[in-house]
Amino acid sequence: MGRELNARGHQVQLLANESFASLASVNGLAFRSIVSPDQTDQLLNNPNNWHPTKSALHGARWMNRMLEPIYDVCREEIHCKKTIIVNYPGVFAGKLLNEIHGNPLISLVPMPWMLLSRKASPKLAGPLNLPQSAPRFLVNAFWYGLETLADQLVGPPVNRLREKHGLNRIKRIPRWSYSNDLTIGMFPDWYAPPQTDWPKNTQLVGFARFDGHLNPEVPCPTQAFIDAGAPPIAITFGTGMRHAAPMFKNAVDACEQLKLRCILLSADSKQLPSELPSSTHHCPFASFERLFPQCAAVIHHGGIGTTAQALAANLPQLIMPLAWDQFDNADRVRRLKAGDSIASNASPEIIAKALAKLAATSNALRPTDYANKIGRQSPFKDAADHIESSAGRHQE
């Protein structure tokens, strides 16, 4: 999106985790870090970050420590009131800058799980879900309780910073964090149908499929492995995951039981079995857009990026969700009949059984051509159009 806006003559700066610095440079974007590598490690190295329920408390504690330092860095980069903030709602600094300094705010939401809705509740992690048949009063009470809990977890530092700048205390922090003018959903309406209780003026533009590098070719050793036999199973549990060793081992064992070839995608080789069978190949990084169409299926954690790339390739998915939005994505994939999901601690036998079932139904899945639906969308262009339109209204 930054590249699209740059090409239109706008000055774009990316404020993000330090690990994105080189990526920003390669894509011609100005960059400033708001989270150091050590601070990232504090978040990702803790296994609670990937627990269905403990992740909320761990994430809240981390965010609370980071709020004011991130706000201060972002404030230094706001050079005039015409500067537009395009912000992930979970980074509360964007909304605070909007309220304190008056800069226009646009909320950017990569996954529908972020959009709280009592009319079409997203699937939550762990036991925190109501049956679809639950009466309305129970749904309202349930969401009131969740939002009250969120206020207790992340509200105090937000309100301290607000009071520091002369603003009143607020409640319902998750809903407050969105722009009052425009929210851009980076997913299509057939994946998450719009709801009347979503944030005001929510516009859906399609999946933000971007592999991150200008050279998308599959690495030569990986391509050679693919070409040497039957289409493999791709196995990945996310870029930030650092605790997936049991999951990788169980998935490899399941593929061995079924005599399937597989590719393990992880930048951290410490997560992989020390000895890999000849039918298994390790690839630190590959473009999913180029890799997935050459695979038979993908086993993954249910992150929105991997889910979108698999849908774009019409690739059957076996999802093993851990935390955050992953249970919701798994639920949506099941409802689309594009795959199935099992527990993250599933044994090799259970994984093998699920894979075999997926293979048996894959011919029924593939004619539902998600690739064509996704290919007809131009998410970054459409998002840039919405941003420019919003900017124009603020300048009037």
pLDDT in 10s for each residue of the chain, 396 residues: 999 999 999 999 999 999 999 999 999 999 999 999 999 999 999 999 999 989 999 999 999 999 999 999 999 998 788 899 999 999 999 999 999 999 999 999 999 999 989 889 899 887 778 887 889 899 899 999 999 999 999 999 999 999 999 999 999 999 999 999 999 999 999 999 999 999 989 999 999 998 766 667 899 999 999 999 999 999 999 988 999 999 999 999 999 999 999 999 999 999 999 999 999 999 999 999 999 999 999 999 999 999 999 999 999 999 999 999 999 999 999 999 999 999 999 999 999 999 999 988 765 555 467 888 898 899 999 999 999 999 877 666
Q: Please tell me the total number of residues recorded for the chain in this structure.
A: 396
Q: Which of 275, 274, 285 is nearest to 216 (CA)?
A: 285
Q: Give the SS3 label for residue 13.
A: strand
Give the separation between CA 97 and CA 93, rounded to whole angstroms.
Answer: 6
The dihedral through the CA atoms of 59, 64, 66, 72 has a sign that is positive
- Backbone Cα Rg of the chain: 21
What's the whole-model pTM score?
0.95
- Tell me the one-letter amino acid at 106: I
For residue 339, the SS3 value is strand
226 and 294 Cβ atoms separated by less than 8 Å: yes
Distance CA 387, CA 172 (A): 26
Going from the N-terminus, what domains does the chain have, and what CATH number goes with each?
2-206+377-395 (3.40.50.2000), 220-375 (3.40.50.2000)
Q: What is the pLDDT of residues 155-199, one digit of tens each?
A: 999 999 999 999 999 999 999 999 999 999 999 999 999 999 999
Which residue matches tokens 């290919």? 375
The alpha carbon torsion through 274, 275, 277, 282 (nearest 10 deg) reads 40
How is residue 182 written in tokens?
Answer: 């425009």
Which token pair is 355? 């894979």
